[in-house]
A and B are shown apart, each in its own frame.
Chain A
Amino acid sequence: MGRYITRRAGYCLLSLFLLSLTIFFFVRVTGDPAALLVEPGASAEDIAAIHHQFGLDRPLWVQYGLFMWTLFHGDLGQSFYYQTPVFDLYMSRLPNSLMLAAVAMIFSLIVGIPSGILASVRVGRFWDSAGKMFALLGLSLPSFWVGLVLILVFSVYLKWLPSSGAGTPLHLLMPAFALGWYFAAAHMRLTRSSMLDVLGSEYIKLARLKGLPEALVIAKHAFKNALIPVITLAGINLVIMVNVAVVVETVFAWPGIGRLLYEGITFRDFPVVQGVVLLGGAMIVLVNLLVDILYATIDPRIRLER
């Protein structure tokens, strides 16, 4: 088990190293931050001064070396735009993103799981078709459009909810819905297919032959087993919700990590983009590592096969 964990942890570190390399070089291909801090027509001296201030006048490999050196010391660098440490910025936005992701996740599970179960036990009938339609819309409607429609209906016409910003529970509702709908659809689809797999298994047939009530068969025997992949997916989705709710957070002016990433990209704030992507990547890698370890603990064949 120890060797297995060490090997998996090694893969994780390698993944993060490759991620750091990729994001570092790719973000620099997107353009020069100085071009966004001055107007066209600014003097060459002003542009050179900005390059010097941000260390962009050094060779790329030197910049990368410095970036890794500071990273090993737990420092993600200083934001070009905000002039504050990226880690501080990230931590200031993290609670907002966690809160939004948590509410969106609760919404997606409350809606996605029951509708998935309903669709699976009513295959080919109205609820199944309705569930499929719900999933299709959830997965295909862009979240910025959903967000704008919500604002139009609930803020502008009905005047029930604030259009944007943060501060009260009411501010959370629309962004959580816009963010959670996509994931609700994904959870609904997975619950449905997982339930259908389980409902076709021998032990469910046995339970029915024993004369157990259908509600008990579904709730106790089928649902519990079908839930495992859904919960696994929900865990990973939660990390994704925290880190990549870029569009929803921008539309609703929600001060989270997604918007920080958007601002970083908009202003070519390389340290912010690097920091947000790396921390998001680290979260996903960590969750996957924990899941791998958990699986290996539950099922020894996994660690022996690998």
Chain B
Amino acid sequence: MAQMAGVRGPAAADRLHDAQLTRRELLGAAAIGLVAAVPAIASAAGPSGQLTWGIHVSMAPTWFDPAETQGIITPFMVLYALHDAVVKPMPGTSQAPCLAETWSKNEDDKSYEFVLRRNAKFHNGDQVTAEDVKFSFERYKGAAHELMKSKVALIETPDSQRVVFKLKEAWPDFLTFYSSASGAGWVVPKKYLDKVGDEGFKQAPIGAGPYKFVSFTPGVELVLEAFEDYWRKTPSVKRLVMKVLPDEATRLAALKRGEVDIAYSVRGELAEELVKTPGLALKPVVLQAPNWIYFPEQWEPKSPWHDIRVRQAANLAIDRDGMSKALFLGYCKITNNAVVPYTFDYFWQPPEAVYDPEKAQKLMAQAGFAGGFDAGPLYCDSSYSNMAEVVVDNFAQIGIRAKLQPIERAGFVAGYSNKKYTKGIIQGASGAFGNAATRMASFVVKDGAFAYGNYPDIDELFPAQADELDHDKRSAILAKMQQLVHEKAIYAPIWQLGFLNGIGPRVGESTFGTIPGFAYTAPFEDLTLNAA
């Protein structure tokens, strides 16, 4: 940028000379040029300024160590700043080469080779090597670690820049898990960890990400500083402060006062207020977390839900658009795919969702329930009871009388997975990582952790897709499975949840939503401040 300013200067002076300006005009023009050049000079001088976040949850030291990444998205709000992965989701792609410059797999799909970047460094100046990649995978103990380690036979490091993963058998999901469905691909420095140990690492983590660790006060804040040697680019903002502000109204107040620049999770009426506040902007993000209605009684011949027309009627009765506008200012994404997010590999796009209560009532009458029926409890995670209330109301309009049964999250998930909610209706959601196959495994096919019943025609497709190494053929099988889920109305899809955030006037590029399905700001090196 400084070079550009230098080039622009003489050219402008020539034009000014040609126009034969007065000395005063020349001085004025020079002053304007100087002012215009200041941001460019500042940028060239390195990172500057500070951005402060109001975070909705308490950060834990386990978030500083990729080896302990559980299957939830929240730790990634920190991992993207501190660390880097061999391959990870980035703007425009779910599998972007990061620490690896390139990768390839052999013909039998049993071996993956990654070639690392020579300019990738850890915060202590050490180069990222193949040994670090191997070490990070081997010490990984977070989500899906048993699965991944059971599939990998051997990791070879032919030289310091090349890593070869040899699988026991062909596994088409290897890269999905390595790049996004686990923390196994995030790389930590072996030498440093050998020196300080696991606990020492959590106290003072060193990564290969765009920001260095400065300090952490549990329950209070995390402070990070720009790592100027980051391979992708030098971050623009010098200092990041992530403050824990658990109360939503307090986060909004802090944003309004300028105490924080970015506030995560501001919902409902508070989001409306945020929109109305001059200088603040709403930044909605669509999460990789679909919400759905599930009919666990559909496999019971005596239940009304056994009749597909009743399930179809329930689908037609849900006013998704109205609900999204009322609860999330219209920022939820209605894909009509119940359990597979649109950002996942092998996602199949169903026909558009339809809201047609009249048609729903006709279907109810055809099914012999013109007068409606008592559907029992509608179980839901209490934090999503606002959605469930609308669904209960929508169902009531076509005669399906359900009683809302909100249950605190931990209890609800335990009840859902232990298959206690056999009577009634369930409103579920999942932000679990994976692809369409992993979602089918959990929520659709026989013995799925959250499947209360199964359909043989779908079940028989499941092993077929798992064995299929050809991407297109596998995609076709998984599409067929999702199509059957849709046609049988096993679920009534609601939407992919809109996660609403706010930013203040100092924020230039916030990066919200640039990585599809990711809830938070990232990549951090792309963040910018507005010129004062």
Instruction: Out of A31, A37, A89, name the residue touching B414 (CB < 8 Å).
Output: A31
Contact between A163 and B253, CB atoms less than 8 A apart: yes
Determine, out of A2-10, A76-84, A102-110, the stretch whose residues face the partner at the interface: A76-84
Contact between B253 and A30, CB atoms less than 8 A apart: no
Contact between A89 and B218, CB atoms less than 8 A apart: yes
Q: Does B450 contact A (CB under 8 A)?
A: yes
Determine, out of B84-92, B165-173, B405-413, B492-500, the stretch whose residues face the partner at the interface: B405-413
Minimum CB–CB distance from A32 to chain B (whole Å) comes to: 5
Q: Does A155 contact B (CB under 8 A)?
A: yes
Interface residues of B: mostly helix, strand, loop or mixed? mixed
Contact between B244 and A156, CB atoms less than 8 A apart: no
Contact between A262 and B146, CB atoms less than 8 A apart: no
Instruction: Out of A36, A43, A93, A155, name the residue touching B219 (CB < 8 Å).
Output: A93
B449 CB contacts on chain A under 8 angstroms:
41-44
Contact with A along B67-83 (1 / 0, CB 8 A): 01011110000000000
Q: Does B144 contact A (CB under 8 A)?
A: yes
Contact between B408 and A252, CB atoms less than 8 A apart: no
Contact between B218 and A164, CB atoms less than 8 A apart: no
Q: Does B275 contact A (CB under 8 A)?
A: no
Contact between B250 and A252, CB atoms less than 8 A apart: yes
Tell me the B225-244 residues at the A interface (CB within 8 Å).
243-244
Q: Does B522 contact A (CB under 8 A)?
A: no
Minimum CB–CB distance from B23 to chain A (whole Å) comes to: 46
Q: Does B436 contact A (CB under 8 A)?
A: no
A37-B70, A42-B432 given; A32·B245 CB < 8 A: no
Contact between A253 and B246, CB atoms less than 8 A apart: yes
Instruction: Out of B72, B250, B411, name the residue touching A251 (CB < 8 Å).
Output: B250
Q: How many residues of A contact B (CB 8 A)?
A: 48
A81 CB contacts on chain B under 8 angstroms:
58, 60, 62
A159 CB contacts on chain B under 8 angstroms:
257
Contact between A151 and B250, CB atoms less than 8 A apart: yes
Determine, out of B34-42, B155-163, B300-308, B437-445, the stretch whose residues face the partner at the interface: B437-445
A40 CB contacts on chain B under 8 angstroms:
413, 416-417, 428-430, 432, 442, 450
Tell me the A249-271 residues at the B interface (CB within 8 Å).
250-253, 255, 259-260, 262-263, 267-268
Alpha-carbon distance between A84 and B217 when the two chains are bound, in angstroms = 12
A164-B250, A263-B58 given; A46·B408 CB < 8 A: no
Tell me the B200-223 residues at the A interface (CB within 8 Å).
202, 217-220
Q: Does B256 contact A (CB under 8 A)?
A: yes
Tell me the B392-434 residues at the A interface (CB within 8 Å).
408-411, 413-414, 416-417, 428-434
Alpha-carbon distance between A32 and B413 when the two chains are bound, in angstroms = 9
Alpha-carbon distance between A194 and B68 when the two chains are bound, in angstroms = 58
The closest CB in chain B to the CB of A89 belongs to B218
A280 CB contacts on chain B under 8 angstroms:
none
Contact with B along A89-112 (1 / 0, CB 8 A): 100110000000000000000000
Instruction: Out of B62, B246, B254, B429, name the residue touching A163 (CB < 8 Å).
Output: B254
A251 CB contacts on chain B under 8 angstroms:
247, 249-250
Contact between B146 and A45, CB atoms less than 8 A apart: yes
B459 CB contacts on chain A under 8 angstroms:
none
A82 CB contacts on chain B under 8 angstroms:
60-62, 218
The closest CB in chain B to the CB of A49 belongs to B146
Interface residues on B, range: 35 or more
B443 CB contacts on chain A under 8 angstroms:
41
The closest CB in chain A to the CB of B430 belongs to A41
Q: Does A152 contact B (CB under 8 A)?
A: yes
Contact between A35 and B410, CB atoms less than 8 A apart: yes
Contact between A155 and B442, CB atoms less than 8 A apart: no
Q: Does A114 contact B (CB under 8 A)?
A: no
Contact with B along A182-202 (1 / 0, CB 8 A): 000000000000000000000
Q: Does B145 contact A (CB under 8 A)?
A: yes
Contact between A31 and B219, CB atoms less than 8 A apart: no
Contact with B along A13-43 (1 / 0, CB 8 A): 0000000000000000011110111111111
A41-B442, A42-B143, A84-B61 given; A32·B429 CB < 8 A: no
B430 CB contacts on chain A under 8 angstroms:
39-41
Q: Does B109 contact A (CB under 8 A)?
A: no
Contact between B72 and A38, CB atoms less than 8 A apart: yes
B72 CB contacts on chain A under 8 angstroms:
37-39
Minimum CB–CB distance from B407 to chain A (whole Å) comes to: 9
Q: Does B32 contact A (CB under 8 A)?
A: no
Alpha-carbon distance between A4 and B409 when the two chains are bound, in angstroms = 48
Alpha-carbon distance between A80 and B417 when the two chains are bound, in angstroms = 22
B247 CB contacts on chain A under 8 angstroms:
144, 164, 250-251, 253
The closest CB in chain A to the CB of B417 belongs to A40
Minimum CB–CB distance from B517 to chain A (whole Å) comes to: 13
Contact between A255 and B410, CB atoms less than 8 A apart: no
Contact between A39 and B431, CB atoms less than 8 A apart: yes
B144 CB contacts on chain A under 8 angstroms:
43, 45-46
Q: Does A162 contact B (CB under 8 A)?
A: yes
Q: Does A227 contact B (CB under 8 A)?
A: no
Contact between B70 and A152, CB atoms less than 8 A apart: no
A262 CB contacts on chain B under 8 angstroms:
246
A166 CB contacts on chain B under 8 angstroms:
220
The closest CB in chain A to the CB of B408 belongs to A31
A263 CB contacts on chain B under 8 angstroms:
58, 219
Tell me the B49-73 residues at the A interface (CB within 8 Å).
58, 60-62, 68, 70-73
Contact with A along B126-168 (1 / 0, CB 8 A): 0000000000000001011111000000000000000000000
The closest CB in chain A to the CB of B416 belongs to A40
A235 CB contacts on chain B under 8 angstroms:
none
Contact between A38 and B432, CB atoms less than 8 A apart: yes
Q: Which 9 interchain pairs have the tightest Cβ spacing?
A: A31-B410, A41-B432, A39-B432, A35-B413, A41-B442, A41-B430, A163-B253, A38-B71, A42-B71
18 contacts between A and B (CB under 8 A): A31-B409, A32-B414, A36-B410, A37-B71, A38-B72, A40-B428, A40-B430, A41-B439, A43-B449, A46-B144, A83-B61, A89-B218, A155-B253, A164-B254, A165-B245, A253-B244, A253-B247, A253-B250
15 new A-B pairs (CB below 8 Å) besides A31-B413, A39-B430, A155-B253?
A33-B410, A35-B410, A37-B72, A38-B432, A41-B442, A41-B443, A43-B143, A46-B70, A49-B146, A83-B202, A144-B247, A163-B250, A165-B243, A255-B217, A260-B219
List A residues at the B interface (Cβ < 8 Å).
30-33, 35-46, 49-50, 81-84, 89, 92-93, 144, 148, 151-152, 155-156, 159, 162-166, 250-253, 255, 259-260, 262-263, 267-268
